[in-house]
Structure 1
Amino acid sequence: MVFRRRKPLSLWQKLRALVLPRGGWGRAFRYLRHRASRIPDAPHRIARGIACGVFASFTPLFGLHFFLAVFLAWVIRGNIIAALIGTAAGNPLTFPFIAMLSIDLGQTILGTRADGVPMSQVMTAFGQAGDEIYRNVRAIFTAEEMRWDRLERFFRGVFLPYLVGGTGPGLVAAIAAYWLSLPALNGYQRLRAARREARAQRLSAKAEATDEGNGK
């Protein structure tokens, strides 16, 4: 392939890139902001899309955040590309804080703190749930016995509290993202329009000067 690396990244380098992108998270976020500001759409639609992506990041639907963000953007007529960019609000740096806040709040609302899974075991619980789903699907085609005990504990102790508890903070973060990004997008698009107009005027003036010079 034309763009394949000459020296493939090692597993450690790939894992490191997930936690610390090349150039740092500051550069990564500046790039995402730049990409969002250059989307050819109305500012309010772009801001809606970003808000959808941010909200999706507060749900426990890992692996489905892109699809949820796109669906929400489609429902409220937001920009799809901006929704995908907005999911960057959920990343290896923020997910631990989002998970702690959401699960703790959800357990308080549901009154299931006694059935809760310790925060140190949350990611392990996600892995065990995925493994059990895989085994149950495989059991359909083999002689293995289906088991649901881990999934039941995962649903009551992690998934449901995460889903319930993440809704409120997710809405707050999404609304904040909308109102913070909207004026920035409006200002950037006005600036780009002014620059295009100034460039057009300079080209027009240069063309007129050239015509006058040729006329002489």
Structure 2
Amino acid sequence: MLFRRRKPADLWEKTRTLVWPRRSFWRSAQYFVKRALRLTATPHAIAAGVAAGVFASFTPFMGFHFFIAAGLAWCLGGNLVASAIGTAIGNPLTFPFIWGATLETGRMILYGGDIPQGAPIHLGKMLSHLEFSQLWEPLLKPMSIGALPLGITFALVFYFLTRWAVFGFREQRRKRLAERARRRANQQAFGAGTATSS
């Protein structure tokens, strides 16, 4: 098979690559941007799909981001592949900032200035006993509320950026193809002219 590794990656290598890409995060980001720009859909569909994926990344429901993004993209008339690409905004580098921002925003919306002080949260203990009902009030509820304004804001920013980028990319490609066709026509005309003169 073409581009296959000589030595197959073991479980540790696959896990490490999932958390930290082999090349760099910047190169991975460029790959996702190019994948989104080259999709064969309308600029609105691509931009709406990316925006849906960005919004889904702000929700605290890990493991469901693809489904949330796909559902939103379907409602907005967005591209499903673009929605999956948009969820890449939530990654190991950005999740701590996203979670902290949504938690604090949700607490400000729910409780205003006086945030209730309770007992410290033992997240590991709750998850080991699957006490998700106890996670709802102190964590998931404020994060869900905080995800709404932040997710909508970032989704709108990414919608307009993606739409503008798709228009620019397609205009550049159209000019490049027109220039290539013009050069090819000139070469053919020059070849036909030399053939007739000889």
TM-score tier (shorter): 0.7 to 0.9
Name the CA distance, whole Å, in 2 between partners of 1:67 and 1:109. 26
Partner of 2:9: 9
Partner of 2:105: 105
Q: By how many angstroms is 1:23 displaced?
A: 1.1
Partner of 1:203: 184
What do the CA deviations read for 1:154-190 (whole angstroms, capped 9, x no partner)?
1222222211111111111111111222222211110
1:117·1:157 contact (CA, 8 Å) conserved in 2? no
Aligned pairs (5 A) from 1:39-188: 39-111=39-111, 113-114=116-117, 118=121, 122=123, 124=124, 127-128=127-128, 132=130, 150-188=131-169
Q: By how many angstroms is 1:210 displaced?
A: 2.4
Q: What code does the residue aligned with 1:211 have?
A: A
2:53·2:86 contact (CA, 8 Å) conserved in 1? yes
1:18·1:92 contact (CA, 8 Å) conserved in 2? no
Task: Say which SS state the counterpart of residue 114 (structure 1) adopts.
Answer: coil
Q: What code does the residue aligned with 2:153 have?
A: V
How has the CA–CA distance of structure 1 residues 181 and 126 changed in structure 2, closer, same or farther, with 3 Å as cutoff? farther
1:56·1:65 contact (CA, 8 Å) conserved in 2? yes
Task: Say which SS state the counterpart of residue 117 (structure 2) adopts.
Answer: helix
TM-score by length of 2: 0.85
Name the CA distance, whole Å, in 1 between partners of 2:119 and 2:144. 14
What do the CA deviations read for 1:56-77 (whole angstroms, capped 9, x no partner)?
0001121111111111111111
TM-score by length of 1: 0.79
Q: By how many angstroms is 1:47 displaced?
A: 1.4
Partner of 1:189: 170
Name the CA distance, whole Å, in 2 between partners of 1:193 and 1:116. 61
Name the CA distance, whole Å, in 2 between partners of 1:160 and 1:23. 37
Q: What code does the residue aligned with 2:39 have?
A: I
**Unaligned stretches of 5+ residues in structure 2:** none
2:55·2:154 contact (CA, 8 Å) conserved in 1? yes
Q: What code does the residue aligned with 1:203 have?
A: R
Q: How many percent of aligned residue pairs carry the same amino acid?
A: 38
How has the CA–CA distance of structure 1 residues 151 and 127 changed in structure 2, closer, same or farther, with 3 Å as cutoff? closer
Q: What code does the residue aligned with 1:167 have?
A: L
Q: By how many angstroms is 1:127 displaced?
A: 4.0
How has the CA–CA distance of structure 1 residues 116 and 20 changed in structure 2, closer, same or farther, with 3 Å as cutoff? farther
Which has the higher mean CA deviation after the structures are superposed, 86-95 or 101-110? 101-110
Q: What code does the residue aligned with 1:165 have?
A: G
Task: Say which SS state the counterpart of residue 22 (structure 1) adopts.
Answer: coil
Name the CA distance, whole Å, in 2 between partners of 1:60 and 1:113. 21
